[in-house]
Amino acid sequence: MRFDAAAWYRAKTLLKHATGWPMDTLHVLAGVLLQLLIAAVLRRSLASGRVWLVLLLLELANEAYDLWFERWPSLAMQLGEGLRDVISTMVLPTILLLVARTWPRLLAGKR
């Protein structure tokens, strides 16, 4: 099976236009939804650093793809946008990781 870079770009563009949401919003939502999906697939808690790390690796791969596929006139601007995407994607999963580790009752309630 071969990865189709253009298809991935079209899928992201379709999602952006279908929802009418900015890419920053989609990054935030994707980060949380993927964190939950990864936790379910790995059968691990949100408190697991492994779940967070897998999400970070997927986001870095997505940004590396964007850097490779898209060519901006200013590399500095493109790198800045990529960094903003990583931060947008990872900020809520990082908060959920810290809350799950520090105050797990906030997420699970009393046992």
On whether residue 55 sits in a domain, the answer given is: yes
- What's the number of domains the chain is made of? 1
On whether residue 61 sits in a domain, the answer given is: yes
The stretches of 44-109 forming alpha helices (DSSP H) are 49-69, 75-102, 104-108
Q: Hey, what long-range contacts does 65-71 have (CB within 8 A, 24 or more apart)? A: 65/5, 65/8, 68/5, 69/5, 69/6, 69/8, 69/9, 70/9
On whether residue 38 sits in a domain, the answer given is: no
On whether residue 16 sits in a domain, the answer given is: no
On whether residue 108 sits in a domain, the answer given is: no
pLDDT band (50, 70, 90) for residue 110: low
On whether residue 59 sits in a domain, the answer given is: yes
**pLDDT tens-digit readout, 89-107:** 999 999 999 999 999 888 8
Note if the pTM is more than 0.85: yes
**pLDDT tens-digit readout, 28-54:** 999 999 999 999 999 999 999 999 999
Give the domain range for residue 80. Answer: 43-102
- In the predicted model, is pLDDT for residue 13 greater than 80? yes
On whether residue 8 sits in a domain, the answer given is: no
**pLDDT tens-digit readout, 53-65:** 999 999 999 999 8
On whether residue 4 sits in a domain, the answer given is: no
- Residue 1 is predicted with a pLDDT of 60
For the ranges 5-9, 12-16, 65-69, 101-105, the maximum mean pLDDT occurs at 101-105
- Residue 3 is predicted with a pLDDT of 65
